[in-house]
Amino acid sequence: MRRLGRAADVPMLEGRSVDVGGRRIAVFRTPGGWRAIDHACPHAGGPLADGIVAGGCVTCPLHGLRFDLETGLEAGGGERVRTYDVVERDGELWLAAERLAEAA
């Protein structure tokens, strides 16, 4: 497991970008739990952690592409971002290290 930061630093329905081993990950707090995806939109590298979160998706702030936070699939399209498992323990957020290794 790799530490992402404090859970209190991520407000509900917002994202935060964190660096984990040289990879930028966008971490989101949703009503359904924690979600994490690659930070960069595959279309033009937009900062997904800065996007609007609604309906289980995040909207890229550059061109409006929407990505499902659970599956990583673009809504209605063929793009995809990698997803990661996040666990909260004692107020800290942790990323499954094996998923990060798969992404390298």
Question: Comparing 49 with 102, which gets the higher pLDDT?
Answer: 49
Q: How far is residue 8 CA from its own chain's centroid?
A: 16
As given in the structure block, the two tokens for residue 7 are 């859970």
Whether the per-residue pLDDT at 96 is higher than 70: the answer is yes
The pLDDT assigned to 86 comes to: 96
The pLDDT assigned to 99 comes to: 58
Structural domains for the chain: 2-103 (2.102.10.10)
SS3 103: helix
H/E segment holding residue 98: helix 97-103
Whether the per-residue pLDDT at 100 is higher than 80: the answer is no
The pLDDT assigned to 98 comes to: 62
pTM recorded for the entire structure: 0.90
State mean pLDDT over 86-94.
96
Which tens digits make up the pLDDT trace of 19-77? 998 999 999 999 999 999 999 999 999 999 999 999 999 999 999 999 999 999 999 87
Rounded Cα–Cα distance for residues 59 and 40 (Å): 12
Q: What stretches of the chain show up as alpha helix (H) in DSSP? A: 97-103
